[in-house]
Amino acid sequence: MTTPDRTKLRPTVAAIRKRATLARQLREFVPVARTRTRALLRRWPAALVAARTGAGRTTAVVQSMSTPTLRSLAAGSAGLGAGLLLGGAPRIVAAAGVTPAIVMGAAVLARSSTANGNAADSLPAGADETLDASRLDDDGNPRVS
């Protein structure tokens, strides 16, 4: 049995310098990461409140739109996303283009699944297709007068 050559197992000077540089960079990074994590944790509650508020406002606006308007906007958004994807845009950009279609499609599906299938589409006689928030009940369905 042969013994391994000990000179081949020794790290080179370049490898030792690389390790020392990496260790120094890690020592410098840890305090920065700690500081930024603390700042993030301080801002987190306000960010959650802002996100919830924005989502609530968006939901109210989307629910106040008529079903044909929602369908048209969703189709346009889906077309935009498909065009971006076919045009070679990064996937994240195409996904951002399709996101409104998903939100509006969910609103249309939620409407059509309530009250035996078509609560939002069955407007009272003589009502036009445009719905504003004042003509909707608490569940987002048209008020029957």
Are 59 and 70 found together in one domain? no
pLDDT digits (tens, 9 = 90+) for 85-126: 999 999 999 999 999 999 888 888 888 766 444 444 444 444
**Total-model pTM:** 0.47
- 3 phi and psi, to 5 degrees? -90, 145
Q: Does residue 4 lie within any of the structural domains? A: no
Q: Which domain covers residue 45, as residue numbers?
A: 10-64
Q: How many domains would you assign to the chain?
A: 2
CB atoms within 10 A of CB 75: 13
pLDDT digits (tens, 9 = 90+) for 15-69: 889 999 999 999 999 999 999 999 989 998 898 999 999 888 888 888 888 888 9
Q: Does residue 21 lie within any of the structural domains? A: yes
